[in-house]
Amino acid sequence: MMNSYLSQMVPQQAEKYGNKIALKYRDYDTDSWISVTWNQFANKVRQVSNALIALGIKEQENIGIFSQNKPESLYLDFGAFADRVVTVPLYATSSETQVHYILEDAEIRFLFVGEQYQYDTAYHVCSQCKGLRQIIIFDPSVTLAPEDNTSIYFDAFLEKGGSGAFQEEVNRRTAASSSDDLANILYTSGTTGDSKGVMLCHSNYETAFKINKIRLVDLSDKDVVMSFLPFTHIFERAWSYFCLGQGCVLCINLRPHDIQKTIKEIRPTAMCSVPRFWEKVYAGAQEKINETKGLAKAMMLDALRTGKKYNIDYRMNGKKPPLFLAMKYKFYDRTIFNLLKKTIGIENGNFFPTAGAAIPEKVEEFVHSVGINMVAGYGLTESTATVSCDWKNDFRIGGVGRVLSGVELKIGDNNEILLRGGTITKGYYKKEAITKAVFTDDGWFRTGDAGYMKDGFLYLTDRIKDLFKTSNGKYIAPQAIETKLVVDRYIDQISVIADQRKYVSALIVPDYPLVEKYAREHHIAYTDLKDLLEKPEIQELFRMRIDVLQQQFAHYEQIKRFTLLPQPFSMERGELTNTLKIKRAVLLKNYAKEIERMYED
């Protein structure tokens, strides 16, 4: 049996690259980016692997990492892998209830935390956790609770392994490591109940890297990659491991809200993201076009038409663009499109993997039209991320790419996507009944997603368990309606209501600054935001925009009534998961009055 790849990757890369930069992270005290070389990275990993053994952590024991994206998270991951230890990441925004559940379920004795919020949350629940022995803190500025005499800082933890006293044991464990070893337990975000711990072995990652290398051939040690999504998310985690294995420079964005600033500081060649990032880019561009007048506006619109013809009508379909179109596109690419990319911070862009939710077709068309290489894809935690993805000029608007070689896919009952192969999880941690239910008798994993294949491309239609059935017996796919409407610049968030109801309605979080701007321009007087959203003129504005966007849907699928909410959906009220997916059951409870009002005759 081969030793696991991830247990040795960092020292092997250090031998190859030495003092070449491996990581960068932002120091908020000095307002600058700090570089970490491969040699420094390998030294930190060595210290961590020694320190973990000094703590008495056993082979295949679970340790928790409750932190935002920080270099320490990576040091810990790879140090743990060298020791055959399993890392269990928790989302940085997790609540006390979620933290308590995972610590108990995964039987965690040692928990590593990032900043003050994570420490405070962990410390509040530690007395309720039977097995938790110690909290180890990454950020040295965290203030400990006065009565806390057991928690230590990361530097003190590293000192335990600083002398290398346990290196012989580390070497023994690394030599004993196997592809069958458990690497991570990743807890799903739990839109429908308690989280489930997805078990991913080293072999899952190794297979994923092997099959992704075939598709992502252009990724190399010349790439500068922005790490933006949480490491806790399988998409970012597997992608970051893969990028490091290719020798890329990985730039770690600590605070998600800062991405628009940090992306301009780094100007990456690649970054994986969710559709929401591109929806905001699209909305910003549309707003700019709407504000522009005369010749400048005409040029912007012509540039988009030219980009669509060139990149979508011709190149996407494997046709060579006519010379005049190619010349015209080249002009716009050097001027308008280049300015747009510079404004975002991606003018050096190589490609940008995007997944995690449906991409609105208008957004996808816009991104490709302006020459940004968005690589749309589909995957799950249970499939070690990517199942299928686009590639440059090999994509279809609305599709999620070609299935990767090495992943078996077939369409089952109710058009459910079924998967089999080396990237698929062996199951859920300590949940044998649920694991058994999610696999067919002949070993196919049931994704719960419906879709179809056409011309070699995979298309998603809906999430089977999310299908609504109206009281009239009609089936509604809420995500399809939401994806269509969320591209509107006045709509920030939307949740469709229809299950066991006589017609479709919606809770809508407007883009508040845009609505207020509209009110000023149209001289609409109001006292506060709630008052403004109830004004007939604002209601009519949204009615008109919704009706235009939902024309393609059948009459029974169209939104008949809606409520504009004066506050956004939030994680604090339990309405969103850590990956910002809507928890429909919580919305039904929190907005019960508003929903009932929409169904009054």
pLDDT in tens, 500-519: 888 999 999 999 999 999 99
> Does 228 share its domain with 367?
no
> Does 263 share its domain with 282?
no
> Does 101 share its domain with 247?
yes
Q: Residue 250 maps to which CATH number?
A: 3.40.50.12780
Q: Residue 548 maps to which CATH number?
A: 3.30.300.30
Sequence-distant contacts of 430-435: CB under 8 A, at least 24 apart? 430/105, 430/197, 431/196, 431/197, 434/196
> Does 349 share its domain with 493?
no
Exposure on the CB side of residue 5, measured as CA atoms within 13 A: 14
Torsion region of 132: left, alpha or beta (phi above 0 gives left; psi -120 to 50 gives alpha): beta
Sequence-distant contacts of 256-263: CB under 8 A, at least 24 apart? 256/68, 256/228, 256/230, 258/26, 259/226, 259/228, 260/345, 262/26, 262/226, 263/226, 263/228, 263/344, 263/345, 263/346
Identify whether 247 is part of a domain: yes
- For the beta sheet containing 352-354, the strands, ordered from the edge strand earlier in sequence to the opposite edge, are 352-354, 374-380, 385-389, 402-403
> Does 68 share its domain with 145?
yes
Tell me the pLDDT of the chain averaged across its residues: 93
| Least confident piece of the model among 203-207, 426-430, 464-468, 499-503 | 464-468
- Of 371, 394, 422, which residue constitutes the final position of a domain? 371
> Does 478 share its domain with 572?
yes
Identify whether 431 is part of a domain: no
Mean pLDDT on 533-547: 95
pLDDT bin (cut points 50, 70, 90) of residue 600 is confident
Identify whether 452 is part of a domain: no
- Of 231, 248, 270, which residue constitutes the final position of a domain? 270
Identify whether 335 is part of a domain: yes
Identify whether 450 is part of a domain: no
User: Residue 472 pLDDT more than 70?
Assistant: yes
Instruction: Kindly report, residue by residue over 271-284, the tens digit of the pLDDT.
Output: 999 888 998 899 88
Total count of domains within the chain:
3
Task: Give me the pLDDT at residue 475, please.
Answer: 73
- Of 371, 394, 413, which residue constitutes the final position of a domain? 371
Instruction: Kindly report, residue by residue over 329-352, the tens digit of the pLDDT.
Output: 999 999 999 999 999 999 999 999
Task: Give me the pLDDT at residue 368, please.
Answer: 96
Task: Give me the pLDDT at residue 97, please.
Answer: 87
The strand ranges marked E within 38-120 are 62-66, 86-90, 110-113
Identify whether 401 is part of a domain: no
Instruction: Kindly report, residue by residue over 248-294, the tens digit of the pLDDT.
Output: 999 999 998 899 999 999 999 999 998 889 988 998 899 899 899 99
> Does 257 share its domain with 302?
no
pLDDT bin (cut points 50, 70, 90) of residue 194 is low
Task: Give me the pLDDT at residue 201, please.
Answer: 98
Task: Give me the pLDDT at residue 94, please.
Answer: 87
Task: Give me the pLDDT at residue 188, please.
Answer: 85
pLDDT bin (cut points 50, 70, 90) of residue 1 is low
Identify whether 238 is part of a domain: yes
Mean pLDDT on 389-403: 92
Q: What percent of the chain has pLDDT over 70?
A: 99
Which residues form the domain of 307?
273-371
> Does 243 share its domain with 290?
no
Name residue 66's beta-bridge partners: 90, 113
User: Residue 393 pLDDT more than 90?
Assistant: no
* pTM for this predicted structure: 0.85
Name residue 380's beta-bridge partners: 385
> Does 155 share its domain with 289?
no
> Does 352 share its domain with 491?
no
Identify whether 395 is part of a domain: no
> Does 165 share its domain with 293?
no
Q: Which of 218, 223, 255 is nearest to 240 (CA)?
A: 223
Mean pLDDT on 136-152: 96
> Does 245 share its domain with 165?
yes
User: Which amino acid appears at position 121 of this protein?
Assistant: T
| Least confident piece of the model among 19-33, 197-211, 412-426, 577-591 | 577-591
Task: Give me the pLDDT at residue 77, please.
Answer: 98
Task: Give me the pLDDT at residue 576, please.
Answer: 86
Q: What percent of the chain has pLDDT over 90?
A: 79
Mean pLDDT on 65-79: 97
Task: Give me the pLDDT at residue 190, please.
Answer: 57
Task: Give me the pLDDT at residue 189, please.
Answer: 66
Task: Give me the pLDDT at residue 221, please.
Answer: 95
